[in-house]
Amino acid sequence: MEFNHDEEKYDQEKRKRSWKSFLISSLAGAVIGALLTVLALPYLSEQGLLPYKLQVIKLRNGNGTRQQGAALRNVSVNVSNEVTNVVSKVSDSVVGVINLQKTGGVWDGTGEAGTGSGVIYKKNGETAYIVTNHHVIAGASQIEVSLNDGTRIQAKLIGSDKLMDLAVLQVNSNKIKAVADFGNSDQVKTGEPVIAIGNPLGLQFSGSVTQGIISGTERAVPVDSDGDGQPDWNAEVLQTDAAINPGNSGGGLFNIDGKVIGINSMKIAESAVEGIGLSIPANLAIPVIHDLESYGEVRRPYLGIEMKSLADIASYHWQETLKLPKDITSGVAIMGVQPISPAGKAGLKKLDVIIEFDGEQVYDIVDLRKELYTKNVGDTVKIKYMRGGKEKTTEVKLSRSKLDS
């Protein structure tokens, strides 16, 4: 019995020693494995064998500074910072434009007829120049400009163009703090981030910033420049979803580099449409701005005719009045000719129908104007037209005049 008791005690001690050995071995293995993992992670990260990069972050606490390894995925979060930088850089170059008009009645005077926005694009000695929209300053007897800090100064209208909806103002430069630079609108891509800065709904919201993307480029929007209810021009515009509201007109559309890539001009405001803003591309605005600044008008070539698209004339008159063959279904009918105009000198007459301009088929007034305004004053172009049922051709030397075609 004594022997059996000692043997049982011996077995218990043996089992305890084995269990302790197992625990020590397991703990040592875990520690060694953890150390190997920590040491191996930087190497694996550098070799690109991990789906993330290991970055050491310094954490500061009350006892000093320690280092802690953290696995971080690469995520770009620079957009907000870049937008903030752009706004701080260019906000002083965007101004409010106040249209002042004389009021009638007992208390004659001058009151605000409307407000819009503008962009300071040039500073030359004591003079600075601002581009805005034609419709912002239309009918103004006096124009004022509100700077970003609220200062209001007098502005002089240098010239405006109804067709492109652009106008150039001149102000004294002594309080001008910033000038915006134009970017290349031909390089703008759909999806590119943009920023619109202006004064929506009036000066109480001056300097408002909205952010969006370019939704589309080279959009063609019909424009009725003479108010007759018929489109007579297709404006090529940039489309953006950055909020553009009344009062934003004339403000700048900036890219992420702080360059002006467009002049905000109009907004499609229909109940079924949301988030469509339109902007005149910088590359189309620049030559117009140059002409307005230099001559007070845009020096476009003209023909000197009154015209109407064939599609706007009752088909009855196509054969009965204009004597057109049945295969002629598009073109521009001449409704009147100025005697000493380029068209008059070239022999064009009332009821002639222009079907081709310098080798390009003419479908309507928009087509004719588009082709005409790609030419220069002094150019000679060939015009193909129908008269009394017969096709004829003449050469026209283009001269300069205002927008009466």
179-217 pLDDT, tens digit each: 999 999 999 999 999 999 887 666 766 778 888 999 998
Nearest 10 degrees: Cα torsion 299, 304, 307, 309:
-50
Amino acid identity, position 87 = V
Tokens 């010239």, located at residue: 159
End-to-end CA distance of the chain: 130
User: Over the chain, what is the mean pLDDT?
Assistant: 81
Residue 280's nearest CA partner among 400, 166, 169, 201 is 166
Where does the chain hold its CATH 2.40.10.10 domain(s)?
A: 80-175, 185-295
Pick the CATH number of 301-401 from 3.40.50.2300, 3.60.40.10, 2.30.42.10, 3.20.20.370: 2.30.42.10
Model pLDDT for residues 30-80, shown as the tens digit of each residue: 666 666 565 665 555 555 555 545 454 444 444 434 444 444 444 444 556
| C-alpha to C-alpha distance for 374 and 367, rounded to whole angstroms | 11
Consecutive H or E run containing 112? strand 109-124
Report helix, strand or coil for 147: coil
Residue 335 has pLDDT above 70, yes or no: yes
pLDDT of 32 reads 67
Model pLDDT for residues 285-326, shown as the tens digit of each residue: 999 999 999 999 988 898 999 988 999 899 999 999 999 999
pLDDT of 101 reads 87
**Pairing label, strands 166-172, 277-281:** unpaired
57 forms bridges with which residues in the sheet?
68
Mean pLDDT of 369-376: 87
pLDDT band at 3 (very low <50, low <70, confident <90, very high): very low
Pair of tokens at residue 393: 């051709």
pLDDT band at 346 (very low <50, low <70, confident <90, very high): very high
Catalytic residues: 135, 165, 249
Give me the percent of the chain exceeding a pLDDT of 90.
48
Residue 138 has pLDDT above 50, yes or no: yes
- Concatenating the DSSP letter of every residue in 203-263 gives GGGTTEEEEEEEEEEEEEEEE-SSSSSS--EEEEEEEE-S---TT-TT-EEEETTS-EEEE
Q: 113 vs 93, which has greater pLDDT?
A: 93
- Concatenating the DSSP letter of every residue in 262-316 gives EEEEEE---TT--S-EEEEEHHHHHHHHHHHHHHSS--EEE--EEEEEGGGS-HH
pLDDT band at 102 (very low <50, low <70, confident <90, very high): confident
Residue 11 has pLDDT above 80, yes or no: no
| C-alpha to C-alpha distance for 246 and 167, rounded to whole angstroms | 17
Pair of tokens at residue 219: 């959009």
Mention the CATH class of domain 185-295: mainly beta
Assign a CATH topology to domain 80-175: Thrombin, subunit H (2.40.10)
Where does the chain hold its CATH 2.30.42.10 domain(s)?
A: 301-401
Residue 401 has pLDDT above 60, yes or no: yes
Amino acid identity, position 12 = Q
pLDDT of 397 reads 95
